[in-house]
Structure 1
Amino acid sequence: MPLIAQLLTVFLFSCLSFAARGEKLRIVTEPWAPYVYEENGKSLGLDYETTAIVFKRLGIEVDWQFLPWKRCLSMLETGQADGALDIFHSDERDATLLYPSEPLSEVEFVMFYANERPHPFRTLDDLKGLTVGTSPGYLYSKDFSESTLFTREPAPTHEANFGKLVRGRIDLLITDRRVGQHLLDELGIRDKITENPTVISRQSQFLAVRRNAGMDLLVQRFGAELKRFKREPAYAELSARYGAGPGVQAAATTTEKTVEQQESGAQ
């Protein structure tokens, strides 16, 4: 390698070495079990544990904060956070955020309805006159967000949305399949709620960071190490523990229309 190239490489690595500067990478995220959550004071989840392992291998310390999603977005916008865990790619956010080439996981968005008030459906047109529970700070597809066929009603938390569904205050709610299934068990309402089998959309989740000096190299290193880790038996075991497949079908998600997308800027 020519001397100039060697010096440039050393300079770039020194720019992004948080450990060398005695700093921690500030990452924000919203509890989103089973991908990322806290239990008895311990941080857990498929994407959290995967990210923590990758950062440890890169020698980067992380300061984690678990906050409501809208607060996560605000912290990214104001520079109070360096990045966010489990965000969907958004073209509008490319100007401010950097995404690794390798996603962390893939989500499938579906609807849930109360057994006492069943509302099975196949297309959005079948939702005419109904009220669908949504989440504040989440970015939905244009078709879903602008449809006049049904009403969208936000709730402060995913748990609150399921509570409204059980009480009949909404007709359906939209969320990720695994997140919904996890909450059915956590809230003890599996006998009251049914998942509609129609998949509204599939989308990959990423770790994204703000476009600061040296972050482009950090993203490249993170993506490469993540891809390497996902080929190991340890990742397959981690995926199985959280009810996910051993791999992420990233290519299949890039051309699909997203009905629910966590707004970039934090998550």
Structure 2
Amino acid sequence: MRLLLCCLLLALCAPSLAEPWQVVGDKQFAPYSYVAPDDDAPLGLDVELVDAVLQAAGVDYHLRLYPWLRVKAMLERGEATMAFQFAGTPERRAQYRLVGPLRTGTTVFMTTSKTALEDWRQLSDLAPYRIGQVEGYAYETAFDRAELRRDAIAQTPRQLVAMLLAGRFDVIVGDRTQLLYFARELNAEQRVRVLPQPLVEMPRYVAFGQEDQQRADLFADALERLRSTGELEAIHRRWEH
């Protein structure tokens, strides 16, 4: 009877596990994930990393990019199998089953010549300034909990940089590579400066539902295989040039 019950459970589970994975990521997170202007095709470093790992895992999948708040909602509602790219904070670990890191990024503060701040040593040094951040993003636990004059009205990192240039904020926080990417895109690289001390070296993870151990393990195994063979590093190098 016990054997029969196990067989029935496996039979019920098999079709859902065989279905294509619905993989989603942030469509406005260049150069890590963004969409082509002509056909909405997913592009970016993280997109290539995720594609490589999923192909190595041998799974069938559909990968699409959406606004970040929708990405999180789709994963929470079970509409997505896997999502990327999540900061490795305790809060995110409590929400999702994180796998990785897929890569590591440097989170920094950016300002302009209009602000006298040259650097910071403790978070209280930032208290006099208006700090801009993207709505729904997690940065670093101590910073996220600090009593600071923060404003999360920006919907995307690109908008965040534009609002800094427009004088809406004194300081913004985000991934160093990304903030500089958008500053260059806006022809404003000479108008901004990154504070020397980073906030954190932040690992970025893919996320599954908390109960989705089997898929998480499958992705983790393929990720480690590609890391050990150097294939992930080769993708990184292509995006450095």
TM-score scaled to structure 1, two decimals? 0.76
Count of paired positions: 229
Per-residue CA shift, 1:2-21, capped at 9, x if unaligned? xx9xx99xx59x83874xx4
2:24 is the counterpart of 1:28: yes
Aligned to 1:105: 103
Alpha-carbon shift at residue 97 of structure 1 (Å): 2.6
Gaps spanning 5+ residues in structure 1: where? 245-267
2:201 is the counterpart of 1:205: no
Alpha-carbon shift at residue 206 of structure 1 (Å): 1.2
Gaps spanning 5+ residues in structure 2: where? none
Q: Is the 8 A contact 1:109 1:202 kept in 2?
A: yes
Counterpart of 1:24, as a letter, is P
Q: Which has the higher helix share?
A: 2
Counterpart of 2:136, as a letter, is G
- In the aligned structure 2, how far is the partner of 1:108 from the partner of 1:172? 16
Q: Secondary structure at the match of 1:199?
A: coil
Q: Is the 8 A contact 1:111 1:173 kept in 2?
A: yes
Aligned to 1:265: none
What is the 5 A alignment of 1:158-177?
158-177=157-176
What is the 5 A alignment of 1:97-176?
97-100=96-99, 102-123=100-121, 124-148=123-147, 150-154=148-152, 155-176=154-175
Q: Is the 8 A contact 2:34 2:42 kept in 1?
A: yes
Q: Using the aligned pairs only, state the percent identity.
A: 24
CA separation of 1:39 and 1:122: change in aligned 2, threshold 3 A: same
Higher relative contact order (CA 8 A, sep 6+): 1
Q: Is the 8 A contact 1:16 1:218 kept in 2?
A: no
- In the aligned structure 2, how far is the partner of 1:37 from the partner of 1:127? 31
Aligned to 2:82: 83
Q: CA RMSD in A?
A: 2.6
- In the aligned structure 2, how far is the partner of 1:202 from the partner of 1:190? 22
Aligned to 1:251: none
Per-residue CA shift, 1:153-196, capped at 9, x if unaligned? 11111111111111111101000111112112222210111111
CA separation of 1:129 and 1:84: change in aligned 2, threshold 3 A: same
Q: Is the 8 A contact 1:37 1:44 kept in 2?
A: yes
Q: Is the 8 A contact 1:112 1:193 kept in 2?
A: yes
- In the aligned structure 2, how far is the partner of 1:243 from the partner of 1:17? 39
Counterpart of 2:166, as a letter, is R
